[in-house]
A and B are shown apart, each in its own frame.
Chain A
Amino acid sequence: MQLSPDETVFWQYGFFKLNATIAFTWGLMLMLAVGSKLITRKLSTELQRSRWQNLLEIIVTGIETQIEEVGIHHPRQYLGFLGTLFLFVASASLCTVIPGYEPPTSSLSTTTALALSVWVAVPLFGIEEQGLGGYLKSYVEPTVIMLPFNIISELSRTLALAVRLFGNMMSGAMIIGILITITPFIFPLVMMALGLLTGMVQAYIFFILATVYIAAATRTSEPKPAAKT
């Protein structure tokens, strides 16, 4: 029983391996990029617009609203990075309905790469917003004694992001695999539905945690007054 799609190797040349993870990731990238390009070819601002444009608008404004609710005042700046995180993980999980497909996020390499990109992005956005001195000062925020703990917490939450997503995706695939050998036909379908649900929830969690980390790193001293009804 294979633990991850890393073990299905299509082609190998010395050190470089083209395994199922990379192939499925390329497929997802192709689908997202080509799909968006096709839908946004003829954008209309009239009331009459195509269904697909409507769908994309719902998704994009939904993500923007979520980013704003976490406390980032200019969500447009981070919409590209955070929105892509959410869309990639969500579509990786949704495509499990296609037979023969293994979500690339069920491999520790993909989830580590995503977590590392968040780990790099948080200081980048923080320095962009607060300057190098301001951002480094946030590490000694309550007192100087907290400096090692802040650094450790930065590393551990990156690790937690990677392992959480990997664990959820891998467990979904593995449980379905095990159940098919025990009780075929009906029960694995229920577990597949549960797997889809947890996949979407984990995509949302990854996205919200990345947003919260970025909001914490770019938070200026005076927060804007919340104008909520």
Chain B
Amino acid sequence: MDSMTIIAVASIVTAGLTTGFGCLGPALGEGKAVATALTALAQQPDASATITRTLFVGLAMIESTAIYCFVVSMILIFANPFWNHVIAQTAGK
């Protein structure tokens, strides 16, 4: 396999794995957070405004790790510097 193929295969496989693992962790974390928030809401319904707000802030913080993985996958697929370099080299030859 020449270097072009290796770069392409590595980028594609890594992009898939990144998205896969990147969605796994945050989903588990967010499920736990929502479950705990629901328990707290059931125990103290009059604090629902604070609980809901804190829940959303916490969910956004957890979600951002998933977003980081998504951004890396997008970069690997659409703005891959190694691929662009190899393509430029082949076009120049």
**Interface check A1, CB cutoff 8 A:** yes
Q: Which residues of B45-83 have CB atoms within 8 Å of chain A's CB atoms?
A: 50, 53, 56-57, 60, 63-64, 67-68, 70-71, 74, 78-79
* 12 cross-chain CB contacts under 8 A: A3-B79, A164-B60, A164-B64, A167-B68, A167-B71, A168-B63, A170-B74, A171-B70, A171-B74, A174-B74, A202-B60, A208-B53
Chain A binding surface SS class: helix
Residues from chain B with a CB closer than 8 A to the CB of A202 are 60
Cβ of B78 and Cβ of A164 under 8 Å apart?
Answer: no
Q: Which residue of chain B lies nearest to A175 when distances are taken between CB atoms in the complex?
A: B70
Which of B50, B53, B67, B79 is within 8 Å of A164, CB to CB? B67
A204 sits at the interface (CB 8 A): yes
Q: Which 10 residue pairs are nearest across A and B when measured between Cβ atoms?
A: A167-B67, A205-B60, A164-B64, A167-B71, A3-B79, A171-B70, A3-B78, A208-B57, A168-B67, A164-B67
CB A207 to nearest CB in B, in angstroms, measures 11
Whether A170 and B57, one on each chain, are in contact in the complex, defined by CB atoms closer than 8 angstroms, is no
Select B64's contact among A1, A3, A163, A208, beta carbons within 8 Å. Answer: A163
Size of the B side of the interface (Cβ < 8 Å), in residues, is 14
Contacts of B68 in A (CB 8 A): 163, 167
Query: How many residues in A have their beta carbons less than 8 Å from beta carbons of B?
Result: 18
Question: Contact: A201 with B71, CB < 8 Å?
Answer: no
The residues of A with any CB-CB pair to B shorter than 8 Å are 1, 3, 69, 160, 163-164, 166-168, 170-171, 174, 201-202, 204-205, 208-209
CB neighbours of B50 from chain A (8 A): 69
**Cross-chain contact of B78 among A1, A160, A201 (Cβ < 8 A):** A1
Alpha-carbon separation in the docked complex, A1 to B78 (Å): 8
Q: A204-B56, A205-B57, A208-B53 are in contact. List 11 more A-B contacts (CB 8 A).
A: A3-B78, A163-B64, A163-B67, A163-B68, A163-B71, A164-B64, A166-B71, A167-B71, A170-B71, A170-B74, A202-B60
Q: Are A171 and B67 in contact (CB under 8 A)?
A: yes
Smallest CB separation, B58 vs chain A (Å): 10
Report which of B56, B71, B79 forms a contact with A205, defined as CB distance below 8 A: B56
**Cβ of B74: which chain A residues have Cβ within 8 Å of it?**
3, 170-171, 174
Q: Report how far A168 CA is from B59 CA in the complex, Å.
A: 13
